[in-house]
Amino acid sequence: MGNGHFVASNVERASHELGAELQRPRPSEWLRTVARAGLVARAVIYVVLGVLSALIVADGRAPAQASGPGALAEIAKQPAGPFLLGLLGAGLFCYANWRLAQALAGLDPAATKPPSASKRVGWLAIAGVYFVLFAEALSILTGSDASGGPTDHPRAAAATVLSWPGGPFLLGSAGAALAVGSVVLAVWGSVHDYARTFDERRAPTWVGPAGRIAGTVGNVTRAALLALVASYTFLAAVDDSPSREKSLDQSLEAVTHLPAGRWWICLAAAGLIGFAVYSLFEVRYRRV
């Protein structure tokens, strides 16, 4: 009798421990939460970029820097800006860490085979970009960003590179690399099977086609903007003149002076917001 009671109590205790273990979030669940928080932050950034680009059309000039850091600065100016920027910074940090985990561990549930080395390097580069954006958000929150704003950064960086031995070649190589990256992004964005990104068990049937449209438009728009910036980087190298370098908002301002330039920027704004919509599809239905 005593042994039976002892065994029963041990079994009950073990079942309680097993239940608690099952209820405890697994590492994969934490990674899903981190990834989805990061995707929300990415969507917010692209919505703000789309709005800032549209305002260039309305005003004929950039009201704020139409770039990632500029979008963060614009958010900080809004009511409850520091609080919102803090949440967004946390999301950017989550996104960067998710991409870093993908790069290091080769995590890609949507793929049928292990990711290639180039894909993992790409994830690592994306992680670096978002770590920089997180650092920018942190500097804005702490009031330590006194560099004159994101628009000044490209010309200052170009001037530094051009002052080095072989500077024009190095800067030209950077411009060429950006141009190649824009072509790769445009091709990938056009042929990528977006439906495989989503979990078909949770996604309605309309999500696949809608996600493909939003993803294709968004990625081709991002590629076009990257090519635009790359062209000014290459011109600065060819002319050995840092003043030819332009940030994204300055490049868009220059486009407004071209024939039908305002219409092109309207399309760019729509494409950026389209990528934000695609990011929200990923928040809800992406395989992570």
pLDDT in tens, 55-95: 877 775 554 456 667 788 888 888 888 999 999 999 999 99
In a domain, 12, yes or no: no
Q: Quick one: tokens of 146?
A: 């006194």
In a domain, 150, yes or no: yes
> How many Cα atoms occupy the beta-carbon half-sphere of 150 within 13 Å?
23
In a domain, 3, yes or no: no
Closest C-alpha to 281, from 37, 91, 39, 33 = 39
pLDDT in tens, 221-258: 999 999 999 999 999 999 999 989 988 888 888 888 88
In a domain, 19, yes or no: no
Q: Quick one: tokens of 8?
A: 């029963």
In a domain, 132, yes or no: yes
- Number of structural domains the chain divides into: 1
* Location of structure tokens 């704004």: 269
Q: Partners of 198 in the beta sheet?
A: 286
pLDDT in tens, 19-67: 544 444 455 788 889 999 999 999 999 998 998 888 877 775 554 456 6
In a domain, 9, yes or no: no
Range of the domain at 209: 26-285
Give pTM, 2 decimals.
Answer: 0.83
Instruction: Work out the angle at residue 191's Cα, subtended by the Cα atoms of residues 186 and 197, and round it to the nearest 5 degrees.
Output: 105
Q: Over 82-135, what HEC string results?
A: HHHHHHHHHHHHHHHHHHHHHHHHCCCCCCCCCCCHHHHHHHHHHHHHHHHHHH
